[in-house]
Amino acid sequence: MIISIASGKGGTGKTTVATNLAVSVDGPVQLLDCDVEEPNVHLFLRPSIEETKTVTTPIPKIDLAKCNQCKKCMEICRFRAIAVIGEMVLTFPELCHGCGGCMAVCPEGAITEIGRELGVLETGAMNGVSFVHGRLRIGEAMAPPLIQAVRDRTWTNGLTLIDAPPGTSCPVIAAMKDTDFVLLVTEPTPFGLHDLKLAVEAVKILKIPMGLVINRADMGDDKVWAYAQTEGIPILMEIPFDRQIAESYSRGEMFALALPEWKVRFRELVENIETLTGKGAGAK
């Protein structure tokens, strides 16, 4: 089973939920950090990195000796990554999405593909938890291909947890699509509710079942609960604004390990998701 932990707003506690879930369940578990612009799962999990791999995306290389300036490559490119000006053909690698359309329509075979570096993929493990994350190259704007490279390492058995990026844009969709369940993490504040509504609408478009974790649940107001009831979204866990939890977090520790009762609750959370989806995750 694949569970994506997401939210419309940054700072709600996605990584907190993802890491504590990972160390709480029994059986094989994999944690993918798809927040490639600012990965932070490793700060808590502290895995031993076993492999580092550079990830590239294909971009066109034009052979001007073969090119007849027909402009078919420019016309097919939706992202304006190719411009034909007189006898010159200009490419804009940062705009290219690597679809290969330009190479497919070129009648002269003047276009080949080369790789442009996006970032690195790192894999490792910590006490039985398999770990994968991506680190986007500084200044790079194209996150989804690197997220897909992380997603390509998804197991075919056991439980896979995905720590998604914040927001509701393309990187988040890349992290949530083709998963079995989306666990939305929010907080009971006006900002939390506003961005939760955006995230819920995105998950509805993807037609993935979802549930809610309310972090810092004993602060703010009750509008998040009212919204969840109106939308029929099950609230699967409430995490209080607790000093012991905050102290564990500030030390870079998973509070489920420091407070055993929370390890039981996170196991129950996975069991409830199993019930909602009808899929086993290996938790006992």
Instruction: Please tell me the pTM assigned to this model.
Output: 0.90
- Rounded distance between C-alpha atoms, residue 248 and residue 115, angstroms: 42
Query: Hey, which bits of 63-127 come out as E strands?
Result: 82-85, 88-91, 111-126
33 contacts 171 by C-beta, under 8 angstroms: no
- Rounded distance between C-alpha atoms, residue 159 and residue 258, angstroms: 23
For the chain (length 284 residues), average pLDDT per consecutive 10?
A: 91 94 92 96 95 96 96 96 94 94 96 96 94 96 94 92 94 96 95 95 96 93 95 96 91 91 95 87 40
CATH numbers and ranges of domains, the chain: 2-45+118-277 (3.40.50.300), 57-116 (3.30.70.20)
Instruction: Check residue 10 and give its pLDDT.
Output: 84
| Residue from 187, 171, 159, 227 nearest 18 by CA | 159
Instruction: Check residue 223 and give its pLDDT.
Output: 95
- Rounded distance between C-alpha atoms, residue 175 and residue 195, angstroms: 17
Instruction: Check residue 145 and give its pLDDT.
Output: 94
Instruction: Check residue 220 and give its pLDDT.
Output: 82
Instruction: Check residue 279 and give its pLDDT.
Output: 77
